[in-house]
Amino acid sequence: MTAPQQARKIIDSLPEDTSYDEILKELAFDRMIQRGLKDSEDNKTISNQEMKNRIKQW
């Protein structure tokens, strides 16, 4: 599916009274999810323990 097709699918799934800002948020949210899934498929993730260690260093 192309990017414009994905965007149309998301927009079409929203209620008719959805604001422009809400549409942008939904599109951005979907993009973040897609990137996360791609990172997971490409083994570009870290363990929960590694994340805990990194947070402790903040």
Residues 6 or more apart whose CB falls under 8 angstroms from that of 45 comprise: 39
Amino acid of residue 7? A
Tally the domains of the chain.
1
pLDDT in tens, 19-35: 999 999 999 999 999 99
Return the DSSP state at 7.
H
In this prediction the pTM is 0.76
The 8-class DSSP code of residue 45 comes to: -
Collapsing DSSP states into helix, strand and coil, what is residue 10? helix
Distance spanning both ends of the chain, measured CA to CA: 40
Query: In the structure encoding, which two tokens stand for residue 21, read together?
Result: 């800002």
Q: Mean pLDDT for each 10-residue chunk of the chain (58 residues)?
A: 95 98 98 97 96 96
Chain centroid to Cα 26, Å, comes to 9
Domain that holds residue 37: 3-56
What pLDDT score was predicted for residue 14? Answer: 98
